[in-house]
Amino acid sequence: MNVVINRNVKQNIGLRPHFCWMKNKLKLPSLAGKLILIFRIVVFVMFTTYASISIAAGDYFKFYSVLLEGGEVDGWEVSAYQVKEADYNVYPAKLCFKKEAKNVCHSIIKKLGRYQYPFQIVNSLTPLPKKAGVHGVLVKSDHTGTVDGLSAIDIWVYDSKRIGFVNILPNCVLAGVGEYQLISSEVPQVGRGLMLITAERLWRAGEGIDSAHKYQIAIYTISGKGSSKILEYSTTKLYGGESTEVENIIDAELPEILKKIIVIH
């Protein structure tokens, strides 16, 4: 079994972002507290009503660009555009796929609960490994405007029927501290291809930021047809704090991850 790990980025990935600044929104005894709440609500509404505000295409500039090579994606240019001073702005970054006369752009917007959030900054565009048999690009983007901050991981793959790219991982939103890794592997029980492994910190009563924590591990298979979560479990070990010096949770859990994958298949 051959396993190749991409460790370019360490982030937390999950579907439960933390909104710590909203916890005490119902009970604010002081006038100062009420004014702070009003200010936060105004900022929150601004971020969730950006769609009604227009902005000229000329106000965006190209921030990242990669040229894909090989197979069906050969010659496609993937570019990320964002506005100047994007931090805490209301305008989402845009992802554009261009080849010859065709140019299709998508705004990076995520719906979390009742609200939609603009992801204003693109941090990286990473072509998928050529040997994985999946042609496309992994995009990491950030939303600024919440205390913890939010990040998103999108995987866009080429669809020959549409003659364009589709996002097969549209709901991966990251919050706080954690990790993810994209792994190219040949696991007989799963098959040759890509796996995305995520580790998200779990909070228990009495635990603080500096405490040791268990982590929620999730494993997704990635193919040209889509993504699928094949496994999710909580670690038995505690990581962080003074109980362990392990810095990379996924590396530490990888033997257990592969063992569990073999068992379920």
pLDDT tens by residue, 64-92: 899 999 888 999 999 999 998 888 888 99
Q: How far is CA 230 from CA 5, 156, 197, 218, in A?
A: 18, 20, 10, 8
Report pTM. 0.73
Q: How far is CA 53 from CA 46, 88, 117, 261, in A?
A: 10, 15, 14, 47
pLDDT tens by residue, 163-217: 899 999 988 887 666 688 888 766 555 556 788 898 888 877 777 767 788 888 9
Mean pLDDT of 221-240: 88
78 in a structural domain: yes
Least confident piece of the model among 42-46, 55-59, 75-79, 118-122: 42-46
Domain count within the chain? 1
30 in a structural domain: no
Residue 150 and residue 33: Cα distance in Å, rounded? Answer: 25
33 in a structural domain: no
**Inter-residue contact 214 to 238 (CB < 8 Å):** yes
39 in a structural domain: no
**Is 222 strand, coil or helix?**
strand
101 pLDDT exceeds 70? yes
Segments forming the whole domain that contains residue 255: 3-15+58-264
Query: Residue holding tokens 């072509």?
Result: 127
Position 21 confidence tier, pLDDT thresholds 50, 70, 90: very low
118 in a structural domain: yes
**Is 75 strand, coil or helix?**
coil
Residue 265 CA, distance from chain mean position: 27
Backbone angles phi, psi at 21, to 5 degrees: -75, -5
235 in a structural domain: yes
Which residues are CB-contacts of 226 (< 8 A; sequence separation ≥ 6)?
168
120 in a structural domain: yes
Nearest Cα residue to 146 out of 19, 258, 256: 19
26 in a structural domain: no
